[in-house]
Structure 1
């Protein structure tokens, strides 16, 4: 049996925090590579643009620095295989640019897979097992601690790419993606304080929303979630270059957020609910 496309790295039993790292890997299995029309050089360039490079390493360093180690759920395959944070159906707005759960277009709107393309086999092989495992990870934190805090760790380019649907807005050093139901104001404020020394922190621009498994989305306020989008020029050479000294500062800031989120602050409010099924993660 083949190995899972993800890894759940245990933290402290008493930690409710899961650092979710969905877009850090570059690996594309040979069978999936066969369906991608780019030549090897073009594929490497696309991976440079689309990968949230070094975010797994930043999350690992943060886990090592945190007073109470968080759990980590890390995607081991490139988002060019499947994007676990997309809707797998017509609800996904990124279908408009060929970037649903299975991409058919590149960051520069070139052809990645020939259309019409049936995403079904890749969704069944990779997307659904990932979603089930993340659901189980959150359920495990709820059972152990009575709550779960998902911190979604991403990065984004300093200049917008053609595929971005909302790329005209501000691009602060750190963008916090929020959800009306699952992101308490106190969690957002804790993130602002943690990343204060890294520069300006903005909300929901150029990327909005956060990831919550559908089983809990919009119904279980015990699950809090926040997306952290780090602008890549803070810590690496774009696109696809090595990490620089800024990565250590960001890891320390993320550790501070983990510690704050791991404590149950007095007065954490329950966010106002809203209707509808699903989770919102916009073009990350």
Structure 2
């Protein structure tokens, strides 16, 4: 699988900001080797997609920062996981012992190769060969993460610091899981691994900008940051990572997966955030 089928790097005319934006879950390409094994149709396979998130954060280009965006559907491979975070219930063979088969994400069916889509539906008709997973990891996962690491290294070498902004959306149903805020919808969750992946002032800038626009913002619950945030956030080395989760009901008809009239206003706000 060529790299240009896996991801796209949208680069500014001149890279001037020490920022890299990453959208690992906005892809919608469903390769034949998924469709041939799946019990679901194409529309159901897209239920876990972070629809239009790459567009929402596209203002990063105008401020001189690149975006890495996935082209492949999240149901095919989840690029915000460890490389071998796999569910043993999915495969015909026993998994190698060094694979991570016990993480909370795997337990929920949301490993590197997801077992389910967001609505809890099983993706596959039955167990699949482990070779399917290994091929996807080799052809898609590793090239994507090499590209992300190269972008971050380039920015860091130029300025001595870099911020990875990991861009996501969350289903509106997820807000009911956020303890202490059930009385009012949560609009944005900022994940900095409880301060371990980014300096506090970076998270505060994002929180202040979004809160000033009237959005309800919380930190780290229930999303503290996935693999990319954890892997690349090293504040002591000048490498920061912040995950931003946007409630889909702010911009999306979740049933039809179509933009609502509020999309443009939210994008304008996120354009402003990119400028901070």
- Confirm or deny a common fold (TM above 0.5): yes
Q: Secondary structure at the match of 1:153?
A: strand
Distance 1:213 1:233 in 2: 24
Query: What is the CA distance between 1:45 and its match in structure 2?
Result: 2.6
Is 1:167 the counterpart of 2:183? The answer is no
Q: Secondary structure at the match of 2:121?
A: coil
1:59 to 57, 77, 91: 57
Q: Secondary structure at the match of 1:195?
A: helix
Greater mean alpha carbon deviation, residues 26-35 or residues 146-155: 26-35
Aligned to 1:44: 43
Per-residue CA distance 1:211-258 (angstroms, 9 max, x = gap): 537774548631111111110111111134321232222222222322
Distance 1:178 1:235 in 2: 24
Per-residue CA distance 1:7-45 (angstroms, 9 max, x = gap): 11113322111111111121111123222222x2xx413
Instruction: Work out whether residues 27 and 70 of structure 2, in 8 Å CA contact, stay in contact via their aligned partners in 1.
Output: yes
Give the number of aligned pairs. 249
Is 1:131 the counterpart of 2:135? The answer is no
TM-score (norm 1): 0.79
Is 1:115 the counterpart of 2:90? The answer is no
Instruction: Work out whether residues 21 and 152 of structure 1, in 8 Å CA contact, stay in contact via their aligned partners in 2.
Output: yes
Instruction: Work out whether residues 81 and 228 of structure 2, in 8 Å CA contact, stay in contact via their aligned partners in 1.
Output: no
Aligned pairs for 1:145-156 within 5 A? 145-156=159-170
Is 1:81 the counterpart of 2:81? The answer is no
Aligned to 1:15: 17
Post-superposition, which runs of at least 4 consecutive aligned residues in structure 1 deviate over 6 A?
A: none
Instruction: Work out whether residues 8 and 72 of structure 1, in 8 Å CA contact, stay in contact via their aligned partners in 2.
Output: yes
Q: Secondary structure at the match of 1:159?
A: helix
Aligned to 1:94: 105
Query: What is the CA distance between 1:46 and its match in structure 2?
Result: 3.7
RMSD, aligned α-carbons: 2.4
**Alpha-carbon distance change, 172 to 216 in structure 1, aligned in 2, over 3 angstroms:** closer
**Alpha-carbon distance change, 94 to 212 in structure 1, aligned in 2, over 3 angstroms:** closer
Gaps of 5+ in 2: 86-99
Is 1:69 the counterpart of 2:49? The answer is no
Aligned to 1:192: 207
Aligned to 1:273: none
Q: Secondary structure at the match of 2:165?
A: strand
Q: Secondary structure at the match of 2:67?
A: strand
